[in-house]
């Protein structure tokens, strides 16, 4: 993949009530944005364990986007504040690991803000594209869950 | 309140010619308020109305040069007192920001003149600076004279409030009214406060230009105003200079003082009437002499 | 239930959604790719997975191919997750062995590049397949529903919702902020397009509310806090004191007559401040309840303590008046809540070009409603503010504050029609020449267009154009003393000046200034405009994102009376559906403690906003109350030893999904 055509891989953790719905709204409104992000739905941004983010970078993500409800608007009252605290610390930690802190981003996007979601997607993709590939730890195809897993 | 670091001042051509009274009274007002203003070094024409109509690009370039040197002399907002200068500079800044094709041409032009592209310069009008940065309360507390003259019609003209709404509400600007009231003046409801002063028509289609000024004067008088206060040198000039030519539909004649708002403010703040350019006014000189006496000190104007 | 004994066998279904997905995502290729993934036994693409044949396809495969995990790649799980869970359960598989992949809203509808969109779909499907392998069978919990309902707001929406529920035998609390119920509708003179009198159709409903054995009516009251969850909301209501005991008052109004103010002196809010009231007053004659209010801002006793208190004397045998009364707070438990808090009219002062507040003879439409009303401040006589002159010409400006970039961008939906109604009423009252200034005439309701035709035939003038300004500047002597409307007549293509005696501003509808506070209290969402957001604009128009909280009326968006009543009925029916079910099912995605690993550090306890986690002293372990837990997962992310997990969002499930989406094909 040549440098000019670098398409960043972005993992997005969206809360079920605000940002995931904003992405639904962007879809319903047929807004267009770049296809780089892979959305993982959690009920609340407060569920996002810092390990998820480190794991995402380790597995080849060039950027991680977290989307939650606006301050004061959390469906679970204050999960987004917990998320913000963890995010602030995590920003420092990933810098120490040699990852530019712009690769990790937290945005408050309400269910009504499909347009804002689109803007953030564009902006995130452009910013990470400018930073180039992360190559923090090349992703290897790990053997998925063992064959004998049974329910 | 944080210390006001002052402003870069763009006088433009009018304030150094027909609008000298504006320049003088403004300088006096800021001196009395203790706010430093420094004239933009080596400024040039703002590229106002006539340029814009003939060659937009040249007009933008003229304003861009001013903005670029303002950015170099840096760190302060750029104050324009003339509404045409304000609009010319503001528009250039807006177009460069929002239209890449304009930006490309302007940047090429600046490069040819070995000037840097401008960023972060804020263009502001004197009225808005006095209203927002100084404020009605401070003007009130610093005023040492209370206006005893006639009722005032505050006339804003077109360019300061349209199309940008940063100076005041385009539909019903009131900031000059509030400042005038702060120094004790009564202002009248003046429905024509943003209507046309005739602009350059007084020089081209003279009859139409003068007719527009007649409408403005007639309504001000009907509303009980004894003087009109302006924030733009062209408005002031049109209303003042052609007043003697006007004979109304009912044969009426006018002798209405046309003032700059900085003349009233400067006087109220304790300025020397001789430094406010009052003698440059044409109409209503006897009223002006009477109103702007140096003696009317206010014992306690709390 | 069929549980999988033996190997995991995943079925993947890729939906075309007609061409909604298929046009951008190569669904066949995605299905073929999925077929090659580990554990996948069957992978298919199909035109409409949500259709009956689509669902049957899954059920048949579960049977024939012994599938025990299902992945459906289609639309948003917010739309069809339940559909596919039910389909899965019907085939005997636990419904939580299903995962949905959103390749419509999050993929085909937002991307244009077919190759990239298809890649994205493959990545998402791969993540889902890896996730679903680990998913566990889960059961929904059940919580009983308290059958009582809280209705917030006593306008026509709240009145109708409360009556519908009460008539069905449900106990209702109706809480209204103002001293009377009735809302805006009580202020209207007539209603369009039938011109029936608003009071005549509303006031009987108002008194029914007061007398209904199933309705507890609290006016002059506000909801102060809401906690709990669907089926079991604990609500505090502050009942502001009127200084008159509602239970003792007979509604005789002798106190009002006896007030030391012989004449009404203070602006009367109900009459849009056009009339006057006393410090002790009833907002309007048919107010419900018929208990007056004392306004401490204007009452002499409250201001000076030296009033003769003639009102007390007048009430001597009942002792209903008591200046020492204070607010009380009621605490109630309800199962469901209907929010009908209405709208506020646009403040015309925000558009100074129309001269409201500058020229006395510029009125708002609500003022005109009161002016033409026989019970209004002038007893129905339409006169200018001087109190005597009858206007000979009237201009009605539509869309004031609506469809305006500088004010509100939305159409307020009712203004065209009420402007027509006011034109008719003003013509009837004054025989004045009437001009309507409109941008577009919007008459899309039953009998609306016919009403417009009627007004045209009545000789009302219609000028298509947005009024630039209202001014008293006279361009020639014929305009002296008039208000002049300057407008571009877009049908004639000229700028016109229309001099009139009276200007009416048809102000738009907007959310209440405190809508954001109300939204937070009931855990709702607002649209960009600030109106409360319905769960789905088409399919769940009275639901909110909070279970058990419903919407009706203009708090959800501008609408007319018939639409409001219909919506209120719908909200009442939704509440009843919950109540009659007797219980609500709770999503099983709650947190639980893995007790062997819990060190008892208590980190999780302050994380929970619902106090669902407690510390068990006897063995020093944390414990989650599954009924109180709402499933946010904040405690899970906080646990340092990973010993709290969230069902359906287990760490290992999310890690698998994460790895899955990141492996490039």
Average pLDDT score over chain B: 93
pLDDT for residue C2: 40
Q: Is residue C662 part of a domain?
A: no
Count of structural domains within chain C: 5
Question: Which pair of structure tokens corresponds to residue C404?
Answer: 């305006």
CB contact under 8 A, B171 and C469: yes
pLDDT band at residue C664 using 50, 70 and 90 as cut-offs = low
Q: Is residue A4 part of a domain?
A: no
Among candidates C8, C111, C658 on the partner chain, residue whose Cβ is nearest the Cβ of A55: C658
pLDDT for residue B3: 67
Co-location of C97 and C159 in the same domain: no
Give the closest-approach CA distance of A73 to chain C in angstroms.
7
Cβ count within 10 A of residue B97:
11
pLDDT band at residue C527 using 50, 70 and 90 as cut-offs = confident
pLDDT band at residue B301 using 50, 70 and 90 as cut-offs = very low
pLDDT for residue C578: 96
The CA distance from B127 to B159, in Å, is: 13
Residue-wise pLDDT tens digits, B12-35: 999 999 999 999 999 999 999 999
pLDDT for residue C546: 87
The CA distance from B89 to B94, in Å, is: 9
pLDDT for residue B298: 56
* pLDDT surpassing 60 at residue C581: yes
Nearest by Cα to B219 from C434, C473, C383, C222: C473
Q: Is residue A36 part of a domain?
A: yes
> What residues make up the domain containing B242?
138-298
Question: Which pair of structure tokens corresponds to residue C236?
Answer: 């505090």
Provide, as residue numbers in chain B, all residues whose Cβ is less than 8 Å from the Cβ of C469. 171, 191
Among candidates A7, A18, A44 on the partner chain, residue whose Cβ is nearest the Cβ of C633: A44
* E strand or H helix that includes residue B228: strand B227-230
Give the closest-approach CA distance of C544 to chain B in angstroms.
38
CA atoms within 13 A on the CB side of C90: 14
Compute the CA torsion angle B245, B249, B255, B259 (nearest 10 deg). Answer: -90
pLDDT for residue B299: 44
Co-location of C296 and C427 in the same domain: no
Cβ count within 10 A of residue A96:
7
* E strand or H helix that includes residue C437: strand C433-438
Which residue is closest to C471 within chain B, CA to CA? Answer: B191
Chains B and C, touching by 3 or more CB pairs within 8 angstroms: yes
CB contact under 8 A, B191 and C472: yes
Provide, as residue numbers in chain C, all residues whose Cβ is less than 8 Å from the Cβ of A11. 658, 661-662
Nearest by Cα to B179 from B221, B126, B219, B216: B126
Co-location of B246 and B155 in the same domain: yes
Among candidates B171, B172, B192 on the partner chain, residue whose Cβ is nearest the Cβ of C473: B192
Query: Could you tell me if A33 lies within 8 Å of chain C, comparing CB atoms?
Result: yes
Which residue is closest to C476 within chain B, CA to CA? Answer: B249
Residue-wise pLDDT tens digits, C357-411: 999 999 999 999 999 999 999 999 999 999 999 999 999 999 999 999 999 999 9
Among candidates A42, A47, A112 on the partner chain, residue whose Cβ is nearest the Cβ of C528: A112
CATH label of the domain that carries residue A112: 3.40.50
Residue-wise pLDDT tens digits, C430-460: 999 999 999 999 999 999 999 999 999 999 9
Co-location of B246 and B267 in the same domain: yes
Q: Is residue A149 part of a domain?
A: no
pLDDT band at residue B145 using 50, 70 and 90 as cut-offs = very high
CATH label of the domain that carries residue B271: 3.40.50.11810
CB contact under 8 A, B169 and C473: no
For an interface test with C, which of A5, A26, A27, A106 has the most C Cβ atoms less than 10 Å from its Cβ?
Answer: A27
Question: Which pair of structure tokens corresponds to residue C647?
Answer: 């069902």
Provide, as residue numbers in chain C, all residues whose Cβ is less than 8 Å from the Cβ of A71. none
Average pLDDT score over chain C: 95
Average pLDDT over residues C574-590: 94
For an interface test with B, which of C352, C361, C400, C503 has the most B Cβ atoms less than 10 Å from its Cβ?
Answer: C352
CB contact under 8 A, B219 and C473: yes
Co-location of B110 and B258 in the same domain: no
> What residues make up the domain containing C271?
254-318
Q: Is residue C426 part of a domain?
A: yes
Q: Is residue C656 part of a domain?
A: no
- Residues above pLDDT 70, as percent of chain B: 96
Q: Is residue B46 part of a domain?
A: yes
pLDDT for residue C280: 97
- Residues above pLDDT 90, as percent of chain A: 78
Could you say which of B71, B91, B126 is where a domain stops? B126
Provide, as residue numbers in chain C, all residues whose Cβ is less than 8 Å from the Cβ of B164. none
Co-location of C506 and C359 in the same domain: yes
Co-location of B180 and B292 in the same domain: yes
Co-location of C469 and C366 in the same domain: yes
Backbone region of residue C471 per phi and psi (left: phi > 0; alpha: psi in -120 to 50; beta: other values): beta
Count of structural domains within chain A: 1
Co-location of C526 and C408 in the same domain: no
Residue B206 contacts residue B213 (beta carbons within 8 Å): no
The CA distance from C154 to C177, in Å, is: 8
Co-location of B36 and B173 in the same domain: no
Provide, as residue numbers in chain C, all residues whose Cβ is less than 8 Å from the Cβ of A86. 637
Co-location of B281 and B186 in the same domain: yes
Co-location of C49 and C189 in the same domain: no
Count of structural domains within chain B: 2
CB contact under 8 A, C352 and B172: yes
Provide, as residue numbers in chain C, all residues whose Cβ is less than 8 Å from the Cβ of B172. 352-353, 358
Which residue is closest to A24 within chain C, CA to CA? Answer: C105
pLDDT band at residue B119 using 50, 70 and 90 as cut-offs = confident
Co-location of C45 and C118 in the same domain: yes
Co-location of B100 and B249 in the same domain: no
* pLDDT surpassing 60 at residue B60: yes
Residue C117 contacts residue C24 (beta carbons within 8 Å): yes
Query: Could you tell me if A39 lies within 8 Å of chain C, comparing CB atoms?
Result: yes
Among candidates C105, C634, C664 on the partner chain, residue whose Cβ is nearest the Cβ of A23: C105
Co-location of B283 and B171 in the same domain: yes
ipTM score of complex: 0.91
Nearest by Cα to C30 from C134, C124, C131: C124
Q: Is residue B77 part of a domain?
A: yes
CATH label of the domain that carries residue B47: 1.20.1050.140
The CA R_g of chain A, rounded to the nearest whole Å, is 16
Average pLDDT over residues B154-170: 95
Q: Is residue A143 part of a domain?
A: no
Q: Where are the alpha helices (DSSP H) in C75-195?
A: 77-90, 114-134, 156-167
Could you say which of B77, B98, B126 is where a domain stops? B126
pLDDT band at residue B297 using 50, 70 and 90 as cut-offs = low
Q: Is residue C660 part of a domain?
A: no
pLDDT for residue A73: 83
Give the closest-approach CA distance of C37 to chain A in angstroms.
10
For an interface test with A, which of C36, C129, C658 has the most A Cβ atoms less than 10 Å from its Cβ?
Answer: C658
CATH label of the domain that carries residue C619: 3.30.70.20
Could you say which of B126, B157, B186 is where a domain stops? B126
Residue-wise pLDDT tens digits, B266-296: 999 999 999 999 999 999 999 999 999 876 5
The CA distance from B88 to B128, in Å, is: 16
Among candidates C528, C634, C656 on the partner chain, residue whose Cβ is nearest the Cβ of A82: C634
DSSP annotation of B276 reads: T
CB contact under 8 A, C358 and B169: no
Co-location of B121 and B212 in the same domain: no
CA angle B12, B195, B94 (to 5 degrees): 50
For an interface test with B, which of C473, C476, C482 has the most B Cβ atoms less than 10 Å from its Cβ?
Answer: C473
Q: Is residue C58 part of a domain?
A: yes
Which residue is closest to C522 within chain A, CA to CA? Answer: A75
Average pLDDT over residues C177-199: 96
Provide, as residue numbers in chain A, all residues whose Cβ is less than 8 Å from the Cβ of C6. 150
Co-location of C468 and C502 in the same domain: yes
- Distance of alpha carbon A141 from its chain centroid, rounded? 21
Q: Is residue B222 part of a domain?
A: yes
Q: Is residue C600 part of a domain?
A: yes
pLDDT for residue B118: 85
pLDDT for residue A137: 58
pLDDT along chain A (151 residues), means of 10: 74 96 95 97 96 94 96 88 95 92 96 94 95 72 48 42
Among candidates C352, C472, C475 on the partner chain, residue whose Cβ is nearest the Cβ of B171: C352
CA atoms within 13 A on the CB side of C629: 28
The CA distance from B152 to B139, in Å, is: 18
């Amino acid at each position: 993949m040549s440098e000019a055509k670098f398409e960043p891989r972005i993992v997005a953790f969206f809360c079920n009530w605000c940002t995931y719905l904003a992405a639904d709204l962007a879809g319903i409104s047929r807004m267009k944005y770049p296809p780089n992000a892979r959305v993982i739905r959690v009920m609340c941004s407060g569920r996002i364990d810092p390990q998820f983010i480190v794991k995402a970078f380790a597995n080849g993500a060039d950027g991680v986007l977290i989307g939650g409800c606006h301050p004061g608007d959390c469906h679970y009252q204050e999960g987004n504040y917990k998320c913000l605290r963890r995010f602030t610390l995590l920003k420092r930690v990933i810098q120490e690991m040699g990852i530019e802190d712009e690769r990790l981003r937290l945005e408050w996007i309400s269910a009504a803000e499909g347009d804002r979601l689109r803007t953030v997607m564009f902006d995130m993709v452009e910013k990470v594209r400018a930073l180039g590939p992360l190559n923090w730890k090349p992703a290897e195809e790990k053997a998925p869950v063992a064959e004998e897993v049974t329910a | 309140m944080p210390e006001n670091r002052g402003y870069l001042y763009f006088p433009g051509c009018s304030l150094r010619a027909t609008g000298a009274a504006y320049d003088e009274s403004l300088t006096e007002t800021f001196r009395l308020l203790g706010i430093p203003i420094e004239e933009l070094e080596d400024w040039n024409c703002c590229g106002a109305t006539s340029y814009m109509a003939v060659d937009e690009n040249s007009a933008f370039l003229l304003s861009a040069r001013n903005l670029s040197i303002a950015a170099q002399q840096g760190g302060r907002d750029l104050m324009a007192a003339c509404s045409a200068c304000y609009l010319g500079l503001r528009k250039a800044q807006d177009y460069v920001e929002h239209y890449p094709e304009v930006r490309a041409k302007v940047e090429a032009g600046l490069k040819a003149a070995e000037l840097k592209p401008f960023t972060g310069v804020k263009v502001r009008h004197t009225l808005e600076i006095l209203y927002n940065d100084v404020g009605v309360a401070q003007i009130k507390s610093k005023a040492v004279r209370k206006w005893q003259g006639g009722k005032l019609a505050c006339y804003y003209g077109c360019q300061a409030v349209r199309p940008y709404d940063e100076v005041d509400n385009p539909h019903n600007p009131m900031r000059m009214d509030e400042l005038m009231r702060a120094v004790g003046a009564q202002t009248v409801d003046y429905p024509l406060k943003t209507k046309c002063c005739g602009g350059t028509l007084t020089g081209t289609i003279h009859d139409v230009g003068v007719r527009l000024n007649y409408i403005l004067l007639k309504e001000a008088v009907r509303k009980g105003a004894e003087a009109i206060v302006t924030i733009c040198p062209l408005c002031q000039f049109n209303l003042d200079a052609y007043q003697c030519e006007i004979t109304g539909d009912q044969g009426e004649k006018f002798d209405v003082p046309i003032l700059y708002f900085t003349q009233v403010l400067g006087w109220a703040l304790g300025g020397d009437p001789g430094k406010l350019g009052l003698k440059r006014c044409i109409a209503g000189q006897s009223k002006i002499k009477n109103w702007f006496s140096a003696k009317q000190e206010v014992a306690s104007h709390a | 239930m069929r549980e999988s004994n033996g190997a995991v066998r995943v079925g993947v279904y890729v939906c075309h959604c007609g061409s909604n997905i298929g046009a951008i995502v190569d669904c066949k290729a995605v299905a073929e790719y999925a077929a090659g993934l580990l554990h996948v036994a069957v992978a298919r693409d199909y035109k409409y997975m949500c259709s009956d044949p689509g669902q049957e396809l899954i059920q048949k495969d579960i049977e024939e191919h012994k599938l025990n995990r299902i992945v459906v790649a289609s639309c948003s799980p917010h739309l069809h997750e339940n559909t596919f869970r039910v389909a899965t359960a019907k085939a005997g598989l636990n419904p939580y062995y299903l995962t949905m992949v959103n390749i419509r809203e999050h993929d085909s509808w937002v991307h244009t590049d077919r190759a990239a969109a298809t890649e994205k779909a493959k990545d998402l499907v791969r993540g889902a397949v890896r996730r679903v392998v680990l998913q566990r069978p889960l059961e929904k919990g059940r919580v009983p529903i308290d059958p009582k309902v809280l209705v917030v707001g006593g306008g026509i929406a709240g009145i109708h919702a409360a009556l519908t529920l009460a008539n069905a035998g449900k106990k209702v609390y109706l809480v209204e902020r103002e001293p009377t119920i009735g809302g805006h509708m009580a202020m209207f003179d007539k209603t369009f397009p039938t011109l029936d009198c608003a009071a005549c159709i509303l006031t009987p409903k108002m008194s029914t509310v007061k007398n209904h054995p199933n309705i507890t009516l609290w006016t002059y009251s506000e909801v102060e806090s809401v906690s709990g969850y669907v089926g079991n909301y604990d609500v505090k209501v502050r009942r502001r004191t009127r200084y008159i005991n509602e239970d003792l008052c007979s509604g005789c109004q002798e106190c009002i007559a006896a007030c030391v103010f012989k004449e009404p002196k203070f602006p009367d809010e109900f009459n849009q401040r056009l009339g006057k009231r006393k410090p002790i007053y009833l907002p309007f004659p048919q107010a419900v309840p018929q208990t007056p209010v004392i306004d401490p801002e204007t009452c002499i006793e409250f201001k000076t303590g030296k009033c003769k208190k003639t009102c007390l004397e007048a009430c001597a045998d009942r002792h209903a008046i008591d200046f020492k009364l204070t607010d009380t707070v009621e605490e109630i438990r309800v199962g469901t809540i209907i929010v009908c808090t209405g709208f506020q009219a646009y403040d015309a002062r925000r558009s100074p070009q129309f001269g409201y507040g500058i020229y006395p003879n510029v009125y708002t439409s609500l003022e005109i409603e009161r002016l033409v009303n026989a019970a209004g401040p002038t007893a129905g006589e339409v006169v200018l503010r001087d109190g005597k002159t009858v206007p000979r010409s009237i201009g009605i400006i539509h869309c004031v504050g609506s469809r305006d970039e500088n004010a509100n961008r939305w159409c307020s939906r009712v203004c065209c029609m009420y402007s027509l109604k006011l034109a008719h009423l003003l013509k009837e009252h004054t025989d004045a020449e009437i001009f309507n200034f409109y941008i577009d005439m919007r008459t899309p309701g039953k009998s609306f267009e016919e009403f417009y035709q009627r007004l045209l035939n009545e000789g009302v003038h219609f000028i298509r154009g947005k009024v630039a300004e209202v001014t008293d500047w006279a361009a020639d002597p014929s305009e002296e003393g008039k208000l002049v409307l300057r407008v571009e007549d877009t049908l004639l293509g000229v700028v016109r000046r229309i001099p009139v005696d009276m200007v009416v501003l048809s102000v738009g509808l907007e959310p209440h200034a405190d809508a954001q506070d109300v939204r937070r209290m009931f855990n709702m969402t607002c649209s960009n405009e600030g109106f409360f957001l319905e769960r789905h604009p088409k399919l769940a128009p009275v639901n909110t994102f909070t279970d058990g909280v419903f919407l009706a009326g203009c708090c959800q968006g501008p609408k007319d009376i018939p639409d409001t009543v219909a919506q209120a009925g719908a909200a009442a029916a939704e509440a009843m559906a919950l109540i009659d079910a007797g219980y609500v099912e709770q999503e099983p995605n709650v947190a639980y403690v893995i007790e062997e690993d819990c060190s008892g550090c208590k980190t999780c306890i302050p994380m929970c906003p619902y106090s669902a986690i407690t510390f068990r002293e006897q063995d020093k372990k944390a414990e989650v109350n599954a009924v109180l837990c709402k499933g946010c997962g904040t405690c899970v992310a906080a646990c340092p030893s990973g010993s709290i997990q969230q069902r359906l969002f287990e760490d290992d499930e999310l890690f698998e999904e994460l790895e899955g989406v990141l492996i490039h094909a």
